[in-house]
Amino acid sequence: MNLASGWIARGVSRLRTPRLAPAPAAQAPPAPRSTHERLKASLRRGTEALAPRVLRRLMDDLLAASAEQASEVEGGRRAKDVIDWYAAASPEARQDLWLLICEQFGPDAERLQRARQHFDQAESALERSQAEIALRRALASARTRLLQRFAVPAGGMRFLLDLRAELLALPRADQRFAALDAELEHLFSTWFDVAFLELKRLSWDSPASLLEKLIQYEAVHDIRSWADLKNRLDSDRRCYGFFHPRLPGEPLIFVEVALVDDLSDSITPLLDESAATADISRATTAIFYSISNTQAGLRGVSFGDSLIKHVAQTLSAEFPRLRTFATLSPIPGFRSWLAKHGTPLLARMGDKPRSELARALGVEPQAQLDAALLLQAAEKAAQLPEQSPVRRALLWCAAHYLGKESHNGRPLDPVARFHLGNGARVERLNWGGDPSAKGEKQSFGLMVNYLYDLKKIDKHRGLLAQGRLPVSRDIEMLMKG
């Protein structure tokens, strides 16, 4: 083929080969329609769970349940219809219900804006007082009334608690239902105020259904068997829970207590089913060794401090010799925190302990100490002798973690956050306090006593409000190294 014929062939080939059109630019998916738009529509779009017709029917049921002119009984009956529908609904359909409650039953925006302007412009004390009343009334919404009606029928309170637990299980980035969650938390903080709760002792003679709840909800030390539970309810033990009248037979929170003659340093003897029963007439110390919240839907509603105070008062009346009220608690966040932040912390050790630790880890005395090496050396923490530099370093790090590390004035460790927030102080670290696999994984087996000095609870809370974590002299000495 000569040059001319080759050029012609290539040209013909290009003409015969269709040119591919450029790929269209990817289009962003359409924004989800609001419930206002969906209620007016005829057809369902995309991934919407409920068709507009079904959504309108559900909206009518919600309006009937929340109607101002309806009695509590009638409103509660209509709310029960929605509760029954919800029980059989898919997760996606349930979210449509949440969207309706959030978007259709909120405060009147215009009325709220006017009330806020009047409040901002009020000049005298009388005007501010009147403007505050108007603002409170403007903030009241049909959503509040609707949620109150849901609580009326039998099982309604359980429905609301479970609903909020579902909300809290959503990814944090999903803020579509934030208003509903905030309103539920506000209502629960009133409905579950300690003034409306009843403190009850739980014993081996309690109904089996209630004892099963203890096994189900125990969150600190798993109850392995009925024999284990019986040991925790023996004569030298006490178990108390807070109950709400609308949730009979359902503890909201419960605490397990051991009556002993000294501050406990290990969980093993407390959980030993074969251990002899202690002489409670000689008991001077109440050890709170497990506190478990049972209702995920009550997150943010705190009554743990009230429980401990009530239990301490009850025990003091029964056992006048009791002088010390303390916990034996895990340190669940310690190991993971040390893995992430241990290296810069180790750089702040004193020269002598740092040099001793370096030799124990097999590195040069002046080399930078890597937290990974410390964690590796602590894999068999229970076997470390008392004077081991690795053991002393772990205690020093744990004291620093519990006594110094905080975020926005709140302790990093979740258990420390609970107890220090309730007015306790970090009292003592206990090496080998929890030799279980869970204890080793969380904190190398370390446990901590938090002391509740009933006369200093407000003082400790005051320190925490100032950003200072309350600790004992022993913990202060440990932090100094």
Per-residue pLDDT tens over the stretch 176-208? 999 999 999 999 999 999 999 999 999 999 999
Q: Mean pLDDT across the stretch 451-460?
A: 92
Task: Tell me the pLDDT band of 7, cut-offs 50, 70 and 90.
Answer: very low
Mean pLDDT of 23-38: 76
Instruction: Report how far Cα 281 is from the mean position of its chain's Cα atoms.
Output: 37
In the predicted model, is pLDDT for residue 14 greater than 80? no
Which amino acid is located at 238 in the chain? Answer: R
143 to each of 152, 181, 225, 301, 449, how far by Cα in Å?
15, 11, 44, 20, 44
Q: Are 235 and 277 in contact (CB under 8 A)?
A: yes
Residue 16's pLDDT band, with cuts at 50, 70 and 90, is: very low
Whether the predicted model's global pTM rises above the 0.75 cut: yes
Average pLDDT score over residue span 237-260: 95
Q: Judge whether 229 and 223 are in contact, CB under 8 Å.
A: yes
- pLDDT band for position 213 (cuts 50, 70, 90): very high
Q: Provide the annotated active-site residues.
A: 329, 419
Tokens linked to 85:
């529908």
Task: Return the minimum-mean-pLDDT range out of 11-20, 291-300, 328-337, 420-429.
Answer: 11-20
- Give the containing element (helix H, strand E) for 199: strand 198-201
pLDDT in tens, 331-376: 999 999 999 999 999 999 999 999 999 999 998 877 788 999 999 9
Secondary structure of 405-419 in the HEC alphabet? CEECCEECCHHHHHH
Q: Which amino acid is at 180?
A: L
CA end-to-end distance (rounded Å), the chain: 92
Q: Is the pLDDT of residue 17 over 70?
A: no
- Dihedral (Cα; 66, 71, 73, 79), 10-degree rounding: -10
CA 127 to chain centre: 41
Q: What is the DSSP-derived secondary structure letter of residue 151?
A: T
Residue 398: exposed, middle, or buried by beta-carbon count in 10 A (0-12, 13-18, 19+)? buried
E strands within 261-361? 285-293, 324-327
99: buried, middle or exposed (CB in 10 Å: 19+, 13-18, 0-12)? buried
**pLDDT-based confidence at residue 107 (cuts at 50, 70, 90):** confident
The share of the chain scoring above pLDDT 90, in percent, equals 75
Neighbours of 191 (CB within 10 A): 17
Residue-level pLDDT at 137: 82
Please name which of 244, 248, 251, 241 lies closest in space to residue 295, comparing C-alpha atoms: 251
Give the mean pLDDT of the chain. 90
Phi, psi of 187 (to 5 degrees): -65, -45
Structure tokens at 32: 């989800």
